[in-house]
Amino acid sequence: MAEPALAVRALEAGYVRGVPILRGVGFDLAAGEILAILGPNGAGKSTLVRTIAGLVPRFAGEIRLAGASLADLPPHRVVAAGFAYVPQVANVFAELTVDENLALGGYTLKRGRAERAARVFELFPDLVAKRQAKAGRLSGGQRQMVAIGRALMVEPRVLALDEPSAGLAPIVVEQVFAMIRRVARSGVAVLVVEQNVRAALATADRALVLAEGVERLSGAAGDVAANAAIAEIYLGGAPAGASP
Amino acid sequence: MTLAIWLQSILDGLVIGATVSLGAIGITLTYAILRFANFAHGEFITWGGYFALAVLGAVAGSQDLKALLGGPFEPFSFGWPLIVATLASILAASALALILDAIYFRRLRRAKIAIASVIGAFGAALVLRNLVVLGYGADPEYFSREIQIAIRFGPGLRITPDQIALVFVTALLVVSLHLFLTRTQMGRAMRGVRENPDLASVSGIDVAAVIRATWVIGASLAAVAGVLIGLTIQLRPSIGFDLLLPLFAAAVLGGIGSIYGAVLGGLVIGVSESLAVMLIGPEYRAAISFGVLFLILLVRPQGILGARA
């Protein structure tokens, strides 16, 4: 079997030692695949991607990108290894222009920055007219394009997005998920943390549902959507068949 | 009072203000990027001046070096020896800043207790200043004892060639810094870290390297300011400490975090002090610059070019 683009095993992580937020989470993600990370508030979804990105201390477990360990690398080395992360809020440099945002996204590149930027503009033609505009002055949807474009500058193997639909109008949410599908079709493995369960399950190939830092459900997006347990998890109910 | 006296006073203020600007840029950069109010920044100015003095002394003491580097560029009082001394001083001040950050300031910043940082930096300033006194004594020192003949121009205005060089060097450095921040990847990275360190690190920027670059730039500009003060006025171990409040006043009234604000703030402070000396007397110099700071902050609490929080 081919090496997965991203493999996470028994991951434990948190901000304070002895207080893990993630308590043993694992998954595989293949190139071109979209995995939705779902779960109620406080489930550890953002902590999961932030830990992989190197922003949250890892206590135990493995993180491998195309076979190479990412564990304990500082964030800028994780990016260089091929894992790009788009945070939920403040995900563009608002005071910098669109061009400058992309240039910083390609910070680790020695050359070829202009070609990569040209590819980002091909993917997001709306941004071409805004190249010299400060990112903070763009609309929510355009800002999300800059954020994703910035992350794509390194041509990552894995792209992780934290709530890309947050704060956007429904029609823009649709556009953002269309962009995500386009990125995945180009062979990038995509990890999407979402509150918007319906939109995420309609887009993703597979889903992983977390609650209180552990996996509660996982499988093909259609199966997860059809599973009655998902409503219970969101409502904070006990897992089906769990002992009291 | 004649127009010429007013203009002369403003001109003198701009010359003094240029060096204040160079120091204030360092303060505003370290504050914006490290969130650290460096009350020891003035000592980089003092040490910069004395590093250059040490190199000039070494050149003057060696017949070979003197012959190699030659005499002053007429009509200026300085020549290659001072240029070499300035470059050496920039390297030494940068090394001093990096060492201080590695062994001391970094710990203060990590503690995230603002008052500990301020008092800790003050302590570092006192130690640094007293080390200079230990090495050179408290008496003033001069790069050159030659008297400069001022150039006369306009309605009876005077400026010395060295002062013209000072203004030119300051302008050159400010323009270079502007180009560095807007045209180079490291400059963009500094602006990125200033706005959002986490986003910068997940963009692949080594934030620690950006912090080192910030120290090097701040200390280098301070070292040049120290050399320019030594060139046009005199060196005393207290120059940096005496400049500390004007430097902060310049950075704050220009808008903390703004490079151009720091430059403008330095010039405003320089001119208002100079006018105060002319109009009321030298003993009110400091009070006037703070009066100006007070008035500007009443109208614009974020400073002239500062962004609203």
Q: Is residue B119 over pLDDT 50?
A: yes
Element counts in chain B: helices (H) and strands (E): 13, 2
Q: Taking the domains of chain A in order of start, what are their residue ranges?
A: 6-234
Give the A-side interface with B, CB within 8 Å: 53-55, 74-76, 78-80, 84-85, 87, 90-96, 100, 103-108, 150, 154
Lowest mean pLDDT among A68-82, B93-107, B138-152, B225-239: B138-152
Cβ distance of B203 and A150 shorter than 8 Å:
yes
Exposure b/e, B70-86, CB count within 10 A at least 16 = b: eebeeebbbbebbebbb
Measure the CA angle with vertex B43, ends B42 and B45; round to 5°: 70
Mean pLDDT of B191-199: 94
Chain B residue at shortest CA distance from A113:
B185
Of B189, B195, B200, the CB nearest to A95: B195
Q: How close A93 gets to chain B, by Cα (Å)?
A: 6
Cβ distance of A96 and B196 shorter than 8 Å:
no
To the nearest 10°, report the CA torsion of A210, A214, A218, A224: -40
Q: Which residue has the tokens 């180079």?
A: B184
**CB distance from B195 to chain A under 8 Å?**
yes
Q: How close B207 gets to chain A, by Cα (Å)?
A: 8
Cβ distance of B202 and A53 shorter than 8 Å:
yes
pLDDT tens for B220-277 read: 999 999 999 999 999 999 999 999 989 999 999 999 989 999 999 999 999 999 998 8
Q: Domains of chain B by range and CATH?
A: 3-299 (1.10.3470)
Are A30 and A74 a contacting pair, CB within 8 Å?
A: no
The H or E element that residue B8 is part of is helix B3-34
Query: How many angstroms separate the CA atoms of B185 and B26, rounded?
Result: 20
Chain A residue at shortest CA distance from B206:
A76
Cβ distance of B205 and A85 shorter than 8 Å:
no
3-state secondary structure of A59: strand
Residue A137 token pair: 């002055």
**CB distance from B300 to chain A under 8 Å?**
no
- For B103, residues 6+ apart whose C-beta sits below 8 A from its C-beta are none
Mean pLDDT of B202-215: 96
Per CB-CB distance under 8 Å, the chain B contacts of A105 are 203-204
CATH topology of domain A6-234: Rossmann fold (3.40.50)
Q: Is residue B28 over pLDDT 60?
A: yes
Q: What is the DSSP letter of B205?
A: -
Per CB-CB distance under 8 Å, the chain B contacts of A108 are 204
Of B191, B201, B206, the CB nearest to A95: B191
Exposure b/e, A195-227, CB count within 10 A at least 16 = b: bbbebbbebbbbbbbbbebebbbbeebeebbeb
The H or E element that residue B259 is part of is helix B259-279
Of B188, B199, B204, the CB nearest to A87: B199
Residue A46 token pair: 């953002």
Identify the pLDDT of residue A111: 87
Percent of chain B with pLDDT over 70: 99
Exposure b/e, B227-246, CB count within 10 A at least 16 = b: bbbbbbeebbbbbbbebbbb
Which residues in chain B (41-60) have CB-CB distances under 8 A to chain A?
Answer: none
Neighbours of B94 (CB within 10 A): 22
Identify the pLDDT of residue B63: 87
pLDDT tens for B178-192 read: 999 999 999 999 999
3-state secondary structure of A53: coil
CB pairs under 8 A between A and B: 67
Q: How close B204 gets to chain A, by Cα (Å)?
A: 4
Q: What is the DSSP letter of A185?
A: H
Residue B16, strand partner residues:
none
Identify the pLDDT of residue A119: 92
3-state secondary structure of A75: helix
Of A75, A79, A104, the CB nearest to B188: A104
Q: How close B186 gets to chain A, by Cα (Å)?
A: 9
Cβ distance of A79 and B207 shorter than 8 Å:
no
Cβ distance of A55 and B202 shorter than 8 Å:
yes
Lowest mean pLDDT among A131-135, B260-264, B280-284, B293-297: B280-284
Q: Name the residue among B82, B35, B39 with its Cα closest to residue B60.
A: B82
Residue A198 token pair: 């319906």
Cβ distance of B199 and A95 shorter than 8 Å:
no
Cβ distance of B202 and A74 shorter than 8 Å:
no
Query: How many angstroms separate the CA atoms of A197 and B164, rounded?
Result: 67
3-state secondary structure of B270: helix
Cβ distance of A87 and B192 shorter than 8 Å:
no
Q: How close B183 gets to chain A, by Cα (Å)?
A: 9
Q: Which residue has the tokens 């950050």?
A: B101
Q: How close A241 gets to chain B, by Cα (Å)?
A: 40
Cβ distance of B198 and A104 shorter than 8 Å:
no
Residue B287 token pair: 């009070």
Query: How many angstroms separate the CA atoms of B177 and A72, rounded?
Result: 35
**CB distance from B189 to chain A under 8 Å?**
yes
Query: How many angstroms separate the CA atoms of B11 and B105, rounded?
Result: 37
Measure the CA angle with vertex A190, ends A27 and A119; round to 5°: 155
Query: How many angstroms separate the CA atoms of A223 and A225, rounded?
Result: 5
Mean pLDDT of B287-302: 87
Identify the pLDDT of residue A240: 46
Cβ distance of A54 and B199 shorter than 8 Å:
no
Mean pLDDT of B83-95: 97
Q: How confident is the model at residue B209 (pLDDT cuts 50, 70, 90)?
A: very high
Query: How many angstroms separate the CA atoms of A46 and A58, rounded?
Result: 14
Q: How close A37 gets to chain B, by Cα (Å)?
A: 20
Mean pLDDT of B35-62: 94
Highest mean pLDDT among A221-230, B38-47, B275-284: B38-47
Of B192, B204, B207, the CB nearest to A93: B192
All residue ranges of chain A with pLDDT < 50 are 240-244
Looking at every residue in chain B, the average pLDDT score rounds to: 92
Per CB-CB distance under 8 Å, the chain B contacts of A154 are 204
Residue A119 token pair: 């590819």
3-state secondary structure of B152: strand
